[in-house]
């Protein structure tokens, strides 16, 4: 059968199904009051979603909000997709009716997708229910609790040294003193997350290879949204991409299983001999908790290898991509606004001067967690970046577990629902001069910002409600820790004749369209 004959048959099938779906929908639409939105083909919806990434749909969503209001319906396949830009409507959905909208509409780790080969048991994308709650409780209690975060202090110091060495090396190699800062952030953070996940410090070469695989998988996940919505159709239309994802997954599995196996063997040796120690590994990591975990709803079985691969993969992605993206946006604003950088330096010097009584030479010390708690202006810079330049303009999609209403509109069961993170941060009712970058606005507030949005949603870069990011505290710590130490270590400037371009572009996260090229000048002679 020729190619054109095949596509003709596919088109004919779509038309037939569209007619049938249109007749069915016409009888049910009259009974429902869906949020308004642009017209779309029955069943297919807007055909562009088949060939575009999820982030590239943002212009269409913005146009719909401008025309129809803060809650709109778009068609991304057979189910309606609801997009909300209003903070009070988001609060109604995610807080007041949080249990109804705590599910995911499709799961990129389902067994029908090339991104995985097992049941969709993950924290980020998993189905809302008892197993999801067990997995979330495990990562929160074992890796992301305050005690565990504090115990990783030496590992953050190790990451910082790697980052500074990389910045110095790139600056020297460029011949102009410039660095590609996001890549520096990404690879340094990735090595830290590898240590937290697998309990072992991997060399730079192996870490780079793993980072490449993870990043390519993320790009495909964003570019080929059809793989998640309709894996069968995706496999037909984009077979080359499908095969590449499958090969990347096999490569990922090989490396992950070696590291998981090494951790399993260490546990066995430790059980036989309590005095056993390994200088190249840490005492506890995320994989240790996964190896010990049992699923009571499935006969107390242990997690399969494929399930552990999924969980480790999302741990690395969630802790690296958004954080490295946000760090670039923070440093871009620090470089663009020298007065902000000066204020951070002044705050650092003030806080460190208080340590002179207890430390003979505080200049040799790394700025740690206790120091950061005293740096209010630094935190305000981070918060203002999250408000004005959030790493993602939408949260991961939610899904209605049953028929419900939001703002007087009907939301049918299984409908996808999402929220405009950037729009909420730019709400003029909440933020004066919302387009301006003013860290001071967070110093002027009487109460500290509540990320959970329990009473009111002001910004939601980490999501809110039942699906709020469990790594919120760790993410904020990594942002403040990295910025404070880098501003202390280097003076950050623009290259002569260049300006910082704060235009964004959508990939898996919202990156700078023109990556930050900063000139770094060492401030001190003392090295950590």
Helix (H, G, I), strand (E, B) or coil at 219: helix
Sequence-distant (≥ 6) Cβ neighbours of residue 167 within 8 angstroms = 179, 181, 184, 486, 490, 520
Going by their DSSP bridges, the two strands 416-419 and 71-75 should be labelled as unpaired
CA–CA separation, 425 and 433 (whole Å)? 11
CA–CA separation, 377 and 383 (whole Å)? 10
Interhelix angle 305-336/181-198, nearest 10 degrees: 150
Q: Kindly state the DSSP code that residue 199 receives in the 8-state scheme.
A: S
Question: Hey, which bits of 63-172 come out as E strands?
Answer: 71-75, 80-84
DSSP H helices in 181-304: 181-198, 204-223, 226-229, 231-237, 239-272, 286-292
Smallest CA-to-CA distance from 462 within 107, 72, 124, 226 is with 124
469 marked among binding-site residues: yes
Smallest CA-to-CA distance from 90 within 500, 512, 463, 479 is with 463
Task: Please list, residue by residue across 189-221, b when 16 or more beta carbons sit within 10 angstroms of its beta carbon and e when fewer do.
Answer: bbbbbbbbbbbbbbeeeebeebbebbbbbbebb
DSSP output for 329-347: HHHHHHHH-HHHHHHHHHH
The single residue listed with the structure tokens 């609790």 is: 145
Helix (H, G, I), strand (E, B) or coil at 281: strand
Task: Take residue 65 and report the two structure tokens written for it.
Answer: 């909000």
Known binding-site residues for heme equal: 469
């Amino acid at each position: 059968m020729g190619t054109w004959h095949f596509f003709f048959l596919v088109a004919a099938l779509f038309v037939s199904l569209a007619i049938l779906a249109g007749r069915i929908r016409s009888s049910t639409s009259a009974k429902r009051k869906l949020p308004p939105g642009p017209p779309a083909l029955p069943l297919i919806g807007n055909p562009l979603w088949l060939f575009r990434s999820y982030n590239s749909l943002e212009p269409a969503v913005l146009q719909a909000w401008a025309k129809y209001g803060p809650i709109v319906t778009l068609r991304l396949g057979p189910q309606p997709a609801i997009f909300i830009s209003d903070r009070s409507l988001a609060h109604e959905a995610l807080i007041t009716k949080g249990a109804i909208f705590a599910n995911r509409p499709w799961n990129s780790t389902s067994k029908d997708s090339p991104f995985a080969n097992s049941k969709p048991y993950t924290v980020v994308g998993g189905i809302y229910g008892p197993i999801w709650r067990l997995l979330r409780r495990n990562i929160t209690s074992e890796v992301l609790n305050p005690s565990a975060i504090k115990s990783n202090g030496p590992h953050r110091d190790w990451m910082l040294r790697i980052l500074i060495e990389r910045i110095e090396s790139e600056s020297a190699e460029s011949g102009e003193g410039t660095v590609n800062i996001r890549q520096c952030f990404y690879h340094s953070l990735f090595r830290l997350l590898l240590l937290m996940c697998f309990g072992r410090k991997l060399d730079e070469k192996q870490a780079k290879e793993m980072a490449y695989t993870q990043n390519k998988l993320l790009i495909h996940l964003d570019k080929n949204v059809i793989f998640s919505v309709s894996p069968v159709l995706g496999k037909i239309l984009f077979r080359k991409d499908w095969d590449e994802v499958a090969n990347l997954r096999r490569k990922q599995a090989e490396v992950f299983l070696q590291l998981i196996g090494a951790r399993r063997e260490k546990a066995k040796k430790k059980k036989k001999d309590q005095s056993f120690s390994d200088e190249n590994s840490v005492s506890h990591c995320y994989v240790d908790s996964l190896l010990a975990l049992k699923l009571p709803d499935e006969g107390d079985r242990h997690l399969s290898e494929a399930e552990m691969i999924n969980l480790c993969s999302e741990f690395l992605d969630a802790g690296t991509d958004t954080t490295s993206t946000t760090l670039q946006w923070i440093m871009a604003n620090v470089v663009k606004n020298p007065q902000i950088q000066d204020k951070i330096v002044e705050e650092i010097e003030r806080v460190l001067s208080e340590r002179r009584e207890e430390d003979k030479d505080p200049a040799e010390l790394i700025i740690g967690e206790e120091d950061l708690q005293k740096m209010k202006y630094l935190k305000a810079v981070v918060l203002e970046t999250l408000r004005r330049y959030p790493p993602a303009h939408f949260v991961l999609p939610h899904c209605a577990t049953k028929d419900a209403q939001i703002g007087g509109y009907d939301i049918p069961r299984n409908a996808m629902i999402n929220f405009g993170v950037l729009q909420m941060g730019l709400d003029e009712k909440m933020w004066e001069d919302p387009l301006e970058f003013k860290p001071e606005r967070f110093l002027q507030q009487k109460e500290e910002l509540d990320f959970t949005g329990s009473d009111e949603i002001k910004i939601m870069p980490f999501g809110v409600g039942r699906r709020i990011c469990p790594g919120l505290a760790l993410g904020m710590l990594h942002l403040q820790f990295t910025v404070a130490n880098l501003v202390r270590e280097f003076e950050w400037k623009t290259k002569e004749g260049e300006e910082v371009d704060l235009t964004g572009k959508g990939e898996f996260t919202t990156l700078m369209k023109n990556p930050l090229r900063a000139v770094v000048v060492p401030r001190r002679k003392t090295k950590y």
